Amino acid sequence: MKSLAAITINDIDTIKIALNDSVSDINNELKADIKEKKRLELLDYKDKYLKVYNKLRQNPSIYSLSETELDITAGGLNDAIQLLEEILTDTKLDEPEREETTDVKNSCYRIVELLAG
């Protein structure tokens, strides 16, 4: 059985980076010409991701998060996985960069699986 206890401080750092990257991607999307409904949806996700990010900065423990915040964390990790897949597909990376990007993507997948329990 998988447990939240398996989430390490390095995993918390990965989560914070993933949430930060997801917020950055949302900021880029908000610069585009989008419908108001989509804009409000993106702003809502941005707010949720930032709240979890800031909570983990104050207390870097997975146990500091509520069940809802764990769901938000999984969503941010999934968004980050999608971004990493785009980077791997659309960008010319050298082999060390490709390996590092793949390792981070795999870490995000592993953490999502732990969160799914």
pTM listed for this prediction: 0.89
The CA distance from 101 to 69, in Å, is 25
Q: Which 8-state DSSP code applies to residue 79? A: H
CATH assignment of the domain containing 111: 1.20.1270
Structural domain boundaries, residue 14: 4-116
pLDDT by residue, tens only, the chain of 117 residues? 467 888 999 999 999 999 999 999 999 999 999 999 999 999 999 999 999 999 999 999 999 999 999 999 999 999 999 999 999 998 888 999 999 999 999 999 999 999 987
Q: How many domains does the chain have?
A: 1
